[in-house]
Structure 1
Amino acid sequence: MQMIIVDDEAHWVDNLSMTKPWHTLGIEHVHKAYSAREALQIIDTHPIDIVISDIQMPEMTGIELIERIRKHNKKIKCIILSGHSEFDYAKKALQNKTVDYLLKPPTDDELLGAVRNAINQLNAEWELISSLKRTQFTLRENLPVLRGRLLLDALQGHRFQAGEWERKLVSYDLPFQSGESALMLVRMEEEFGEFDNTDQTLIEYAIINMAEEIMGEFMEVWGVKEEHGYLVFLLQLKEQGTDLGKESILEKLSLQLQYKVKQFLKGSLSIVITEWFKFPEQLSNRFHQASSSFRQIVGDEREFIMRVSDLELPSAQGPLDALYTPPSLIHLLESGHWDAAEEKLLAVCAELDEKWSESWEHCMEAGFLITASFTNLAHRNGHTLANLMGTDIEALQSGDAFTSISKLRKWSLSVLANLKEGTSNEIKDIRSEYVKKIQDYTDKNLHDDVSLRVLADHVNLHPTHLSKIYKIETGEGISDYISRLRMDRACHKLKTTNKKVYEISMEIGYMDPAYFIKVFKRQFGVTPQEYRDTNK
């Protein structure tokens, strides 16, 4: 957990942050703030859990600080320190749900006890949020979506680590296990095309329910709609036997589903059933085989039931699996996962080497899809592929890039490197532009509110994100930059003008001159007036 101590008296902050055994309570980091505004900036950029704040501070009281915190984060636990025992202060603290109200100076037992109470409250709240019961309830509410996503990933060839399948099947309460299974692909025919998207979804849901009802007596049924519009059902026989063979029972139930949909939903179905196979190892292969049968064998035929034979297609007709196995290349490029994109390209070329070394068509297929992905990324970022590729565009224009697997490998990795470098430079330019905007705004509005949140709103970024960008680009935090700018400007005004100290204080953003004097002395070891006298 992280905590912040806020007080305009620096010795209090330093003493409490450095001399107490906070680590024994599980506090990993203790931040220090010498004003409420500084505290708000730290809270905006760090995952603060607990705030210990003095109640009487210039510019903003501890109560006002808590009220500001509550507007953006109701989970932070707050503890008030005060030299006053007035009832009104304590009442306001209670109204803002502070954990404790301690009088200065608190004993170690009082202070550590208050923080321990805050930690206990936080733990209790987060345990409730992340509790097994709540998680299980949420899981049950979202099970259909989660189950469908899992089956879609598996159909597309997503590979799970050893034991991952079993864990997910148990987590999603799916009564399936490794072993003999079959797939049934259902195509909804043109009668259903007249429905709009909402009604179409309801029809699909109704067909899935009917399939589960009809087949559920004899089989475990797991259904989902895949991206090409087929309804796909994974089937496993239940333990109880039947007089009919497993092929016959599957065909009989498929026919019954077809008939009931015709009877009650007024539309026809075409159905393809695979041979029985070993789940999960052969799932993706059998799915692609069945969907291929719809395209190649069935064609425009309607309202049929067909069993796909176990015959393997000639090798020349096989798909290039690595190219289409999720995550796709375009997805990796869009999300900036450059290393994973490189691994994807290497995997595609490795499969070409292993299975399709004599097939120019497979090399061309890979080249076209890789080029399309590269072009899509370039256009999304407002560039042309030619600008980002440099001389690599020549091999693409001449067609030489795809003439061999080795050339495809070399070309695609080279272009990927160019895209990565171009995107990185673009990101750096954008970061530099944000820094310039922030510094320009701060320079012109130093007398006003230049808190992190105001600056973030000025450039339309989240405060945490802006803080990270600024630190990456300049090497210092925004609050450090603002403090340095204020002190530099104060020094300049003290040396070159006859303005009063309180006037300079207001002009650089300190509404309380006494607080400005305190900050200035902490920075330079002398008061503003002493600095002026020394530098006349």
Structure 2
Amino acid sequence: MMMQLLLVDDEMNVADTLADTIPWHSIGIDTVHKAYSSAEALNLLNMHEIDIVITDVRMPEMDGLELARRIFLYWKHIKCLLLTAHADFEYAQAAIKHNIQGYMLKPIDDKELVRQLSAVVDTIRTERENESNYNRAMAAMRHHLPRIQAELLQSLLQGTRMTETKLAEQLKLLELPVGIGQDIFMMLVRFKERLCDYNSFEISLMEYAIGNMAKETFQDHFDTWYCRDVHEYLAFALIPRDASDGSSLEHLNRLANQFQMNVQRFLKMPISVLSGQAGRFPDEVTKMYNNLLLLFGRRFGDDKDLPVYIAGRGEMAAIGTLVSLYEPPLFVHLMEAGHWEAVSAKLHAVMNELETDWSESSEQLTEAFFAIFSAFSYIAHKSGRNLADLIGAEYVLGKELQPARTVKHLREWTVSVLDTFRRNARNETRSARASAVKEAQKFIISHLSGDLSVQMISDVLNMHPAYLSRLYKLETGENISDYIARLKMEKVVLLLKTSTKKIYEISIEVGYQNPHYFIKLFKKHFGFTPQEYRNMNM
């Protein structure tokens, strides 16, 4: 990665001497240009891909600082170094900006010039490498942009929530033309042919073709954003281009029919299309989608001949679901991962929604109970236990479903059962940790004469060394390396008191092949050498 340099000085001999005497190529400079005025320098900058400019400060007509300012204005990637006399030092120092990397005093010291210029070259290389990595990442993202856009829409359809700030950042990054709080329309498209008769590549081609057809059909009035949902439907978010246009629904009705006919005519794919009323993005996206799913079954059923249906406002308002119970992450997944605080927060959200929106609905209350009960059962069975044995008296099936009578009863029951699960999980974790510590200690004791290390012990226990060290410290309050050293020293003390073995023999017996190192460790631990300790205890 060679670079081009421009030397600017109204003293021709200074520019010529620098150009001829400095080993530019060894620094990373391939081509050196010379200019004897700022005007000439600007001409050369327009003609060549300059990377670095070294300019004198004091020059007639346009000085070096003004030249640097213009360079920063028009060629922000170019780095500048200033040449200044002692008389101008404070003036130049105070003016360091506009991508000026530093300054050098005249007469110029060649070594200092090479040092500063090498640093600038390294800076440019780093910037180019970072820019290259960024461009590669952006190119990869753009290549996969439709898939990533579809994944975001699918997660929103399933009820995933995020902060407005985070969602706005994602919408901008993915170049999606929808704003927080904007009214949008939803549309579902169902293939009339059996998708199981096609392979994944063929299905992807069908999706791509229909997505492009939708974009072409709706583009005058709507931006389109789509994904394939879990039911094998194509779900479209239709975003009005003109929010002030009150005829968006009218356009939608007309274009939905046109879209269905275009797909039938040009792609030879029979489809059914269902669209509904407008809703607020993102708050009402999941509700709109679930409404359309239910209406699809009601209005189309298994009929393959009905092409298009536009849902009325009354139909959209009549359907509701217990949103917080089914929005991801699901209750069972949070329990499976042991995220107990998140589990409690989700249960709290479900109970609040029941109290606020479904206080008169015993059906939603029963639905919530069975969904939570099912999750509890799954987690219990996965751990090899029966739910009835785990929660005891709180097991309520066969007792008239008392927790499903009121939200208060359900809240109390779920809190109690969740506490039982949490305690059980903590006990299992403690038991597993204690077992791992005991296994480590057993191995250490039986291999005390060897050259023990945390890596060796972790390999035997199939654990990462960092995890083993952290776990041991949490459980015992002592570092595992300190435990090993303590046991070795305890054995040394015993041998010093009860045997006549020489010091070097004891050193080897407890795993220290270097007696001098062993003596140093012993003295650090006890304050005496091994021989001094033996003499005191004879």
TM-score (norm 2): 0.69
CA distance in 1, matches of 2:142, 2:365: 45
Which residue in 2 is equivalent to 1:291?
293
Could you report, residue by residue, the CA deviation over 1:449-491 in whole angstroms, capped at 9, with x for unpaired residues?
4322221221112222222211111111111111111111222
1:506–1:139 distance in 2 versus 1, CA, 3 Å: farther
User: Among residues 348, 357, 360, which one is paired with 1:358 in the alignment?
Assistant: 360
Which residue in 2 is equivalent to 1:389?
391
Kindly state the Cα deviation for residue 195 of structure 1 after the two structures are TM-superposed. 2.3
Kindly state the Cα deviation for residue 428 of structure 1 after the two structures are TM-superposed. 0.4
User: Among residues 309, 312, 318, which one is paired with 2:312 in the alignment?
Assistant: 309
Within a 5 Å distance, the mapping from 1:31-42 to structure 2 comes to none
CA distance in 1, matches of 2:380, 2:494: 48
Kindly state the Cα deviation for residue 135 of structure 1 after the two structures are TM-superposed. 5.2
Kindly state the Cα deviation for residue 423 of structure 1 after the two structures are TM-superposed. 0.5
CA contact (8 A) 1:261 1:268 kept: no
CA distance in 2, matches of 1:517, 1:312: 87
CA contact (8 A) 1:505 1:511 kept: yes
CA contact (8 A) 1:207 1:261 kept: no
CA contact (8 A) 1:432 1:473 kept: yes
User: What is the count of residue pairs matched by the alignment?
Assistant: 411
1:314–1:147 distance in 2 versus 1, CA, 3 Å: closer
Which residue in 1 is equivalent to 2:232?
229
Kindly state the Cα deviation for residue 350 of structure 1 after the two structures are TM-superposed. 1.8
| Aligned partner letter, 1:471 | K
User: Among residues 272, 280, 283, which one is paired with 1:281 in the alignment?
Assistant: 283
CA contact (8 A) 2:260 2:272 kept: no
CA distance in 2, matches of 1:497, 1:386: 60
Which residue in 2 is equivalent to 1:102?
none
1:306–1:243 distance in 2 versus 1, CA, 3 Å: closer
In the alignment, is residue 327 of structure 1 matched against residue 329 of structure 2? yes
Kindly state the Cα deviation for residue 440 of structure 1 after the two structures are TM-superposed. 0.7
Within a 5 Å distance, the mapping from 1:150-299 to structure 2 comes to 150-178=152-180, 179-197=182-200, 199-216=202-219, 218-238=221-241, 245-259=250-264, 262-263=267-268, 267-299=269-301
Q: Secondary structure at the match of 1:425?
A: helix
Kindly state the Cα deviation for residue 245 of structure 1 after the two structures are TM-superposed. 4.9
CA distance in 2, matches of 1:523, 1:444: 22
Which residue in 2 is equivalent to 1:415?
417
User: Among residues 481, 486, 489, which one is paired with 1:487 in the alignment?
Assistant: 489
Could you report, residue by residue, the CA deviation over 1:420-460 in whole angstroms, capped at 9, with x for unpaired residues?
00011001000001001111111112233432222122111
Which sections of structure 1, spanning at least 5 residues, go unmatched? 1-116
Q: Secondary structure at the match of 2:384?
A: coil
User: Among residues 443, 461, 466, which one is paired with 2:468 in the alignment?
Assistant: 466
Which residue in 2 is equivalent to 1:534?
536
Kindly state the Cα deviation for residue 339 of structure 1 after the two structures are TM-superposed. 1.8
Q: Secondary structure at the match of 1:187?
A: strand
CA distance in 1, matches of 2:155, 2:426: 31
Kindly state the Cα deviation for residue 355 of structure 1 after the two structures are TM-superposed. 2.1
Which residue in 1 is equivalent to 2:24?
none
CA contact (8 A) 2:221 2:251 kept: no
| Aligned partner letter, 2:378 | N
CA distance in 2, matches of 1:356, 1:464: 49
In the alignment, is residue 339 of structure 1 matched against residue 344 of structure 2? no
Q: Secondary structure at the match of 1:401?
A: helix
Q: Secondary structure at the match of 2:314?
A: coil
Could you report, residue by residue, the CA deviation over 1:277-311 in whole angstroms, capped at 9, with x for unpaired residues?
33333322211111111122221112522112111
CA contact (8 A) 1:128 1:134 kept: no
Kindly state the Cα deviation for residue 191 of structure 1 after the two structures are TM-superposed. 3.3
Within a 5 Å distance, the mapping from 1:494-505 to structure 2 comes to 494-505=496-507
Kindly state the Cα deviation for residue 208 of structure 1 after the two structures are TM-superposed. 3.3
CA distance in 1, matches of 2:145, 2:248: 34
Could you report, residue by residue, the CA deviation over 1:513-536 in whole angstroms, capped at 9, with x for unpaired residues?
221111111111111222222222
User: Among residues 444, 447, 450, which one is paired with 2:446 in the alignment?
Assistant: 444
Q: Secondary structure at the match of 2:439?
A: helix
Which residue in 1 is equivalent to 2:57?
none
| Aligned partner letter, 2:169 | R
Kindly state the Cα deviation for residue 180 of structure 1 after the two structures are TM-superposed. 3.4
Which residue in 2 is equivalent to 1:6?
none
Which residue in 1 is equivalent to 2:519?
517
CA contact (8 A) 1:210 1:257 kept: yes
| Aligned partner letter, 1:247 | L
Q: Secondary structure at the match of 1:311?
A: helix
CA distance in 2, matches of 1:475, 1:221: 59
Q: Secondary structure at the match of 1:318?
A: coil
Which residue in 2 is equivalent to 1:372?
374
Greater shift in the superposed pair: 143-152 or 521-530: 143-152
1:399–1:248 distance in 2 versus 1, CA, 3 Å: closer
CA distance in 2, matches of 1:144, 1:396: 51
Q: Secondary structure at the match of 2:395?
A: helix
Which residue in 2 is equivalent to 1:49?
none
1:454–1:140 distance in 2 versus 1, CA, 3 Å: farther
Could you report, residue by residue, the CA deviation over 1:327-348 in whole angstroms, capped at 9, with x for unpaired residues?
2111211122212211221221
Greater shift in the superposed pair: 152-161 or 416-425: 152-161
Larger Rg: 2
Greater shift in the superposed pair: 324-333 or 133-142: 133-142
CA contact (8 A) 1:395 1:401 kept: no
> What percentage of aligned pairs have identical amino acids?
35
Greater shift in the superposed pair: 164-173 or 464-473: 164-173
CA contact (8 A) 1:188 1:268 kept: yes
CA contact (8 A) 1:215 1:253 kept: no
| Aligned partner letter, 1:393 | Y
RMSD of aligned residue pairs (Cα, Å): 3.1
CA distance in 2, matches of 1:323, 1:407: 17
CA distance in 1, matches of 2:464, 2:248: 66
CA distance in 1, matches of 2:514, 2:216: 75
Which sections of structure 2, spanning at least 5 residues, go unmatched? 1-118
Which residue in 1 is equivalent to 2:456?
454
Could you report, residue by residue, the CA deviation over 1:478-509 in whole angstroms, capped at 9, with x for unpaired residues?
11111111111222222222223222222222
Kindly state the Cα deviation for residue 260 of structure 1 after the two structures are TM-superposed. 5.3
